[in-house]
Structure 1
Amino acid sequence: MRFFDKKLTEMIYQNLVRYFSLAFLFLALSLGAQAQDAKHGKELFLANCASCHNANMKDNATGPALGDVEARWAEFPQEELYAWIRNSQGLIADNSAASQGYAAALYKKWGSVMTPFPALTDADIQDMLVFIQNKYEFGCDSPPCVTVAADPGTEGPAKEEDSSTGIILIILAVVLALSTVFLARYINNLNRLAAQKTGGEPVASKSFLQIVLNPTIVRLLIFALVIFGGYTTVNNAINLGRQQNYAPEQPIKFSHALHAGKNGIDCQYCHDGARRSKHAVIPAMNTCMNCHTAVKKGPEHGTAEILKIYASTGFNPISIETPQYGAYFSDTVSLESRLAVYEKWLKASNEGMAEGDIKAQLAAVPQFIETSEDSKLVNTKPVSWIRIHNLPDHVYFNHSQHVTAGKVECQDCHGAVEEMAVVKQHAPLSMGWCVNCHRQTKVKFDENAYYQADYYKQYEEYHKEIQEGGVTVEEIGGLECQKCHY
């Protein structure tokens, strides 16, 4: 019977193997590309849109919720949505645009001018729209999503994490591999049956290893491994040293949400170096004591974290000389004597507190105090804050140039710190992220009168161009390598 022809069945088998393998590779690359598009879209959204639009895509903020934005613009040409994102005022002024009335109504409703982003390409905008829609529909950057509940006893809402598309690819790979093996064994059995019926040469049964080591499969696997290995290597190299969303636990639980948010303390009161030097500086504990000589109990942690401040500065909160303010221990006061004072203060400040809780708070004191070898002098130790934002050594970044000259808000780079109980690195701080900012940020000549006389004077010819659309940082040398790299 020709139906069981050996050459025919082998040809069918080889073709099916190729089709299965190519389908798997196509699916893997497609899912990987979609995830990469959403990742790029997230970076663009955080850099350009997050300051005005809610990140959950469902709630309004300074600007409207962006979820399902493509559906709302569905009756208009897609290029007009892209034009709106690049320059909303330009679209409103375009009498030939079909969406002019809709765009004008949006502007009238919200009453604020959206920052123009002329450097965004169509591909950039499409990546952002992919991220926005995924966030709106699934609650994460790219589906599928896994919701991770907050640990018991921790503060804040549950966090949503993006599950890797690798899980899907692994399942598909297993299914396709098993299907291929079963199909190969089935064809092999057909060949054996054909040989028996025609009286031809007996066909040996192929083992699993023989099927897997088929030359066609081996070639395709090598090709897939080269593609996957190159893709992984490049991505890992790009992300080397980056720590976006890094939020370590600090030795003192300082809440920016309480201090900068609820109490409204200006960022530069503590980080005063940001306006006048390269470094923003970590505030000295004396800055903390400007308030905490009077504020001796916090609303969140009570006396536990304030005691650490007192220990690190050598402060005596119940000094006999100045009981209303306190004083500082001399370096001859021993650790035991200081602990006795702090225990007395804790009992007075926390009426009814269990003895075990008091002992637990006192246990944190020794880490901020060191005793000399002869045990006669006691010195305080600086707080070992854990650095969060750490640029590579070859990168030059000057805070004063951005904060004072560029008028950049702290939140543009660090996110809504005033809402963070535990500070994290908000932005990727990658070169591409910085370059995109320089391409889009308008130079504020009029707000730099002091610097205009010395530095910006050479750019006076740009004033005319400002009236026509503005000058970006890129256009005054903001993309020169030496600006950021030594």
Structure 2
Amino acid sequence: MKISNIQMINCFRKIATSILTISVTLLSFQAFSQGEALFKSKCATCHQPHKNSTGPKLYQVREKWATGGAKEGSIYQWVNNWQTAAASDPYAAEVSKWSPSAMSAFPDLKKEEIDAIMDWVDSQPDLATAVAAPAAGAAGPEGTTTATEEEGSIGWIWIVMSVIFIVVILAVGGVRRQLIIATSEDPDSAEKQTYGEELRVWAWKNRLYVGLASLVVVITLIVGLFQNLYSIGVVENYQPSQPIAFPHSQHAGVNGIDCKYCHNSVTKSKSAGLPSVNVCMNCHKQINGEGKPFAGEIKKIYAAAGWDPSGAGKYTNKTKPIVWNKVHVLPDHVYFNHSQHVVVGGIDCKQCHGDMTTMVETAKVQPVEELNKIEGNIRLTKPTLTMGWCIECHGAKEVALGNGKNAYYDEIHRRLKSDKALYRKYLEDGKITVNELGGWECAKCHY
């Protein structure tokens, strides 16, 4: 039987519709992915979708500018150069007073790229609202991690690819079925055959290829499962909100305060310790920040200490605890001692926590890429605060023996010198590392 023109047109119409659908889906997903990538590279340092940070939250910021009376297109000019926008638009000039920190200019961003960023931001759910009513006695999460965001991004890729694959299969299958019916000697019999029956017949005829494909799919799923297991406990970029917006850059950077002054148990204990409010009051009895942008944060310290700054100042005995949110929770089965690393190992705080002299925002888990940029840090590759990260550091960190600064290492040095063969073996790579002194033994770090 010959295929009629109408049947041919219908077949080509289905193919064209499928191609158009796939193209639109791919373009939409490409713009979505581009917006996410641009936000993380250009905006995430100072902005968050649903929470004010160094800069204001960006959720539905275009609508906010439009309803606030901003000139058309002013927000794009603001992103390219905020000073130019502030000079030409009263609303932009008012926004420029939001924070004492000046926004960076991004003259390279095009309007389409800015829209892609805003579209991605507007699509983000407000996780703080989602967990606003946890069960009694349970604490809701304070934020999300980059690892979770990246995992979600990868999930979207697989979902979109799956939808595209299904659309292609259905389109091609529909066209193929129409062609079979049109060319069959018995169209009625061919049309009665269900998709399931047709699939079973096809699978049996091609059982070798179907079996191999099924094996590949199963292996891929198993590998994907184990790869996802590696993301458990990865908390890079996690930055919970804090009751007081403490700028490390002002204290450790501008004022040059030693980390150990506030975290004074770091040389004596497993824990570095959080400073009690009386440590803050050592300085802030005199420094009240009056007339400064951070005066409100200092008032929170006064409320916690029960301090009345009026007049000569006095304590009211009406105190209020500061409930800090933990940035990282050490697993119960892991042993970590700050004093061992700081005093014995001589590790600088910036190796694990980053350069706090430039940290304007509250503390967060610094990603390994940022830590590697800091001069003097050991270059590592594994995600921060994971077991692989610690093991990698133990294999790279050189131990200074025999310098007279540590009796423990001096004794190890004395014993190695008495066994020349062992000493030469240790020095094959030109250094003695933590690993060579037992730093990879399980019991060193695990209970």
Q: Does TM, normalized by the shorter one, top 0.5?
A: yes
**Per-residue displacement from partner, 1:303-351 (whole Å, max 9, x unpaired)?**
21111111111222235xxx2xx3322x4xxxxxxxxxxxxxxxxxxxx
Q: Compute the displacement of 1:202 (Å).
A: 3.6
Q: Is 1:449 aligned to residue 405 of structure 2? A: yes
Q: Compute the displacement of 1:181 (Å).
A: 2.4
Q: TM-score, normalised by structure 2?
A: 0.56
1:151 and 1:449 map into 2 onto residues whose CA distance is 46
- Output aligned runs, 1:272-421, within 5 Å: 272-297=264-289, 301-319=293-311, 323=312, 326-329=313-316, 331=317, 378=318, 380-420=319-359, 421=361
Q: Is 1:432 aligned to residue 393 of structure 2? A: no
Q: Compute the displacement of 1:442 (Å).
A: 0.5
Give the AA of the match of 2:37: V
**Per-residue displacement from partner, 1:77-128 (whole Å, max 9, x unpaired)?**
xxxxxxxxxxxxxxxxxxxxxxxxxxxxxxxxxxxxxxxxxxxxxxxxxxxx
Instruction: Mark the CA change 1:167 to 1:144 in structure 2 (over 3 Å): closer, same or farther.
Output: farther
Instruction: Mark the CA change 1:225 to 1:310 in structure 2 (over 3 Å): closer, same or farther.
Output: farther
1:311 and 1:256 map into 2 onto residues whose CA distance is 21
1:165 and 1:239 map into 2 onto residues whose CA distance is 12
2:353 and 2:397 map into 1 onto residues whose CA distance is 16
1:410 and 1:211 map into 2 onto residues whose CA distance is 66
Q: Is 1:155 aligned to residue 54 of structure 2? A: yes
Tell me, what secondary structure is at the counterpart of 2:294?
Answer: coil
Q: Is the 8 A contact 1:188 1:206 kept in 2?
A: no
Q: Is the 8 A contact 1:144 1:165 kept in 2?
A: no
Q: Give the greater-gyration-radius structure (CA).
A: 1
Q: Is 1:483 aligned to residue 423 of structure 2? A: no
- Output aligned runs, 1:182-193, within 5 Å: 182-193=171-182
Q: Is the 8 A contact 2:252 2:258 kept in 1?
A: yes
**Per-residue displacement from partner, 1:4-36 (whole Å, max 9, x unpaired)?**
9xxxxxxxxxxxxxxxxxxxxxxxxxxxxxxxx
Q: Which residue of the partner structure matches residue 246 of structure 2?
A: 254
Q: Is 1:195 aligned to residue 184 of structure 2? A: yes
Q: Which residue of the partner structure matches residue 204 of structure 1?
A: 191
Give the AA of the match of 2:277: M
2:291 and 2:259 map into 1 onto residues whose CA distance is 20
Q: Compute the displacement of 1:208 (Å).
A: 5.5
1:220 and 1:468 map into 2 onto residues whose CA distance is 47
Q: Is the 8 A contact 2:402 2:413 kept in 1?
A: no
With a CA cutoff of 8 Å and minimum separation of 6, indicate the structure with the bigger relative contact order.
1
2:286 and 2:325 map into 1 onto residues whose CA distance is 27
- Output aligned runs, 1:209-228, within 5 Å: 215=203, 226-227=218-219
1:221 and 1:200 map into 2 onto residues whose CA distance is 32
Q: Compute the displacement of 1:248 (Å).
A: 0.7
Instruction: Mark the CA change 1:231 to 1:403 in structure 2 (over 3 Å): closer, same or farther.
Output: same
Q: Is the 8 A contact 1:405 1:451 kept in 2?
A: no
Q: Is the 8 A contact 1:298 1:306 kept in 2?
A: no
1:300 and 1:238 map into 2 onto residues whose CA distance is 45
Instruction: Mark the CA change 1:467 to 1:300 in structure 2 (over 3 Å): closer, same or farther.
Output: farther
Q: TM-score, normalised by structure 1?
A: 0.52
**Per-residue displacement from partner, 1:147-205 (whole Å, max 9, x unpaired)?**
22435964256999868344444333333322222333333333334432xx6994235
Tell me, what secondary structure is at the counterpart of 2:37?
Answer: strand
Q: What percentage of aligned pairs have identical amino acids? A: 35
2:290 and 2:353 map into 1 onto residues whose CA distance is 25
| Structure 1, unpaired ranges of 5+ | 5-141, 332-377
1:481 and 1:406 map into 2 onto residues whose CA distance is 19
Q: Is 1:179 aligned to residue 168 of structure 2? A: yes
Tell me, what secondary structure is at the counterpart of 1:309?
Answer: helix
Q: Compute the displacement of 1:210 (Å).
A: 5.7
Q: Which residue of the partner structure matches residue 138 of structure 1?
A: none
Q: Is the 8 A contact 2:401 2:412 kept in 1?
A: yes
1:445 and 1:454 map into 2 onto residues whose CA distance is 6
1:448 and 1:299 map into 2 onto residues whose CA distance is 51
Q: Compute the displacement of 1:144 (Å).
A: 9.0
Q: Is the 8 A contact 1:268 1:274 kept in 2?
A: yes
Instruction: Mark the CA change 1:225 to 1:394 in structure 2 (over 3 Å): closer, same or farther.
Output: same
1:226 and 1:282 map into 2 onto residues whose CA distance is 49
Q: Is the 8 A contact 1:278 1:398 kept in 2?
A: yes
Q: CA RMSD in A?
A: 3.8
Aligned residues: 293
- Output aligned runs, 1:95-244, within 5 Å: 146-148=37-39, 149=43, 150=47, 154-155=53-54, 164-196=153-185, 202-206=189-193, 215=203, 226-227=218-219, 229-244=221-236
Q: Compute the displacement of 1:432 (Å).
A: 0.8
Instruction: Mark the CA change 1:287 to 1:313 in structure 2 (over 3 Å): closer, same or farther.
Output: same
Q: Is the 8 A contact 1:276 1:400 kept in 2?
A: yes
Give the AA of the match of 1:437: C
Tell me, what secondary structure is at the counterpart of 1:413?
Answer: helix
Q: Compute the displacement of 1:454 (Å).
A: 6.9
2:187 and 2:299 map into 1 onto residues whose CA distance is 92
Instruction: Mark the CA change 1:205 to 1:174 in structure 2 (over 3 Å): closer, same or farther.
Output: farther
**Per-residue displacement from partner, 1:272-316 (whole Å, max 9, x unpaired)?**
211222111111111111111111117863321111111111222
1:168 and 1:236 map into 2 onto residues whose CA distance is 15
Tell me, what secondary structure is at the counterpart of 1:274?
Answer: coil
**Per-residue displacement from partner, 1:30-60 (whole Å, max 9, x unpaired)?**
xxxxxxxxxxxxxxxxxxxxxxxxxxxxxxx
Q: Is the 8 A contact 1:184 1:211 kept in 2?
A: no
